[in-house]
């Protein structure tokens, strides 16, 4: 689905609020038709990046472009290229869903006849036709999120930026949201989605970017990101029977480094090890087990997950912050 044409280009983007650095020389590029999962802990700089991309905030330095349009100098062009759904819905009292969408359609200058058609289309696309006559403020959170997406689609934007679209949704609504997002990507739109629900993102995104402490920590496919950030790998060794499991676990523990975590699941007859050992060490371990007579059924590495990468990135940022704080204290001491 994704083409080689970059549609979102961010280069050396920084945003400072006085002393506080919200974004620190962030650079990334996203191809047309991709779904980017933009993740990071609270205060990492996700919303700041998004606000710059939609023209709500001005960067201190660096550039951000959407389909070639500069997000600072060509604001009116950018507004037509981007569909933005903030984390706060922003409803109006006493307005029905159809009127709400009609207003935003008119704000984007869509002629009335075409607007009516377009409103019906986006309601259909988001499975929200049945709620068109309801009052916006009476909708549940999940329904409002759907109307929010419908609103972002009205002016046929190239890029959709959705801030926490799955936040507060029940499992069923989350599945529906996932289907809608995949459908939009299939139509060739580029999506930037932030979320704290990482398993959800890992299911739909073909690209993941992790930011923490205002810096981009990793970007790429899910596998690339987890490989970059995960310092430990999980190895599962399945034995054909539960006999001699504890002895086998002791052998595993001995073969790996001292702080490797080894757990035994007797019910599954699986020994799990979280280790930073390389491929050579693991090969040696397998050989040693076979030689010792352990009946190894499977010896496999479990793919790293996004949560782990996320936690690693967050810890990295925290360590950097602590180090910077300590350096500041030390320099103050020296100057005294």
Partner 1 sequence: MSGIGVILGRELLALLRSSKVLAILLTVSVSAAFVVLLKWPTTAIVDLDGARGREVFRWITYAMLAASILAVPVFPSTLLVREVRRRTLELLLNSPLSRSSIYFGKLLAMLGFVVLLLSTTVPAMAAAYLMGGLTLTGDILRMYAFLLVVCLQLIVIGLLVGTWSRNTESALRWSYGVTFGLTIVPWFPDALFPGGTSPLAKGMALLKLISPIPGLLQMLNQNSLSGTGLMESRDAVLYYLCFAGLFIVAGSAVCISRLSHALLDRSRSQGYITDDQEGWIQASRRLLYIVDPQKRSKGIPWLVNPVMVKEFQCREFGRMHWLLRLVAGCAVLSLLLTLASARGTESRGVEYTGALIIVLQVSLIVLLTPGLAAGMIAGELEGGSWNLLRATPLGPARILFGKLVSVLLTLALLLCATLPGYAVIMLIKPILQPQVVQVLGCLVASAILAMLISAAVSSLFRSTAIATTVAYGVLIGLFGGTMLVWVNRDAPFGHSMVENTLRLNPMAAALNAMQAQGFTSYNLLPSAWYVAGVSSALLLVLLFVQTLRLTRPD
What residues line the site for partner 1 (CB under 8 A)? 51-52, 54-58, 72, 75-76, 79-80, 82, 84, 86, 88-96, 98-99, 102-109, 111-112, 115-116, 131-135, 137-138, 151
Q: How far apart are CB 35 and partner 1 at their closest, in Å?
A: 21
Buried b (16+ CB within 10 A) or exposed e, 210-225: bbbbbbbbbbeebeeb
Nearer to partner 1, 90 or 325 (CB): 90
**b vs e for 101-121, b when ≥16 Cβ sit within 10 Å of the residue's Cβ?**
bbebbeebebeeeebeebbee
- Minimum CB distance to partner 1 smaller for 80 or for 227: 80
Question: Three-class SS of residue 155?
Answer: coil
Taking the CA atoms of the chain, what radius of gyration do you get in angstroms? 25
> Residues 210, 215, 217, CA angle at the centre, nearest 5°?
40
Nearer to partner 1, 53 or 255 (CB): 53
Q: How far is the CB of 25 from partner 1 (least distance, A)?
A: 19
Q: Helix, strand, or coil here: 156?
A: coil
Of the two residues 131 and 208, which places its CB atom closer to partner 1 in the complex?
A: 131
Considering the complex, what minimum distance in angstroms separates the CB of residue 200 from partner 1? Answer: 23
Strand 159-163 relative to strand 82-85: parallel, antiparallel, unpaired?
A: parallel
C-beta of 86 vs 244, nearer to partner 1: 86
Nearest distance in Å: CB 194, partner 1: 15
- Distance, in Å, from the CA atom of 120 to the CA atom of 133, rounded to the nearest integer, reads 12
CB of 157 vs partner 1, minimal distance in Å: 10
């Amino acid at each position: 689905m994704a083409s080689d044409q970059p549609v979102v280009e961010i280069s050396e983007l920084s945003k400072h609020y006085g002393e506080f650095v919200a974004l620190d020389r962030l650079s990334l590029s996203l191809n047309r038709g991709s779904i980017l999962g933009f993740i990071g802990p609270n205060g990492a700089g996700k919303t700041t990046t998004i606000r710059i991309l939609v023209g709500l905030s001005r960067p201190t330095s660096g550039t951000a472009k959407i389909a070639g349009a500069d997000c600072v100098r060509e604001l009116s062009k950018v507004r037509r290229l981007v569909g933005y759904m903030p984390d706060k819905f922003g409803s109006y009292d006493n307005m029905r869903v159809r009127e709400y969408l009609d207003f935003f359609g008119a704000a984007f200058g869509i002629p009335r006849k075409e607007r009516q058609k377009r409103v019906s289309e986006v309601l259909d696309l988001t499975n929200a036709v049945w709620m068109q006559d309801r009052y916006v403020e009476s909708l549940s959170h999940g329904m409002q999120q759907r109307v929010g997406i419908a609103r972002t689609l009205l002016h046929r934007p190239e890029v959709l930026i959705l801030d926490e679209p799955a936040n507060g949704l029940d499992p069923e609504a989350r599945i529906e949201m996932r289907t809608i997002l995949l459908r939009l990507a299939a139509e060739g739109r580029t999506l930037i989605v932030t979320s704290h629900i990482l398993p959800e993102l890992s299911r739909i995104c073909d690209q993941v970017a992790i930011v923490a402490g205002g810096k981009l920590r990793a970007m790429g496919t899910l596998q690339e990101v987890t490989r970059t950030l995960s310092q430990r790998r999980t190895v599962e060794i399945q034995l054909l029977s539960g006999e001699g499991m504890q002895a086998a676990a002791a052998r595993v523990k001995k073969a790996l480094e001292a702080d490797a975590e080894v757990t035994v699941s007797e019910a599954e007859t699986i020994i799990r090890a979280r280790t930073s050992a390389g491929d050579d060490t693991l090969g040696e371990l397998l050989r040693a087990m076979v030689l010792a007579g352990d009946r190894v059924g499977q010896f496999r590495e479990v793919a790293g997950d996004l949560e782990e990468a996320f936690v690693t990135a967050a810890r990295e940022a925290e360590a950097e912050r602590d180090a910077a704080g300590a350096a500041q204290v030390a320099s103050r001491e020296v100057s005294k």
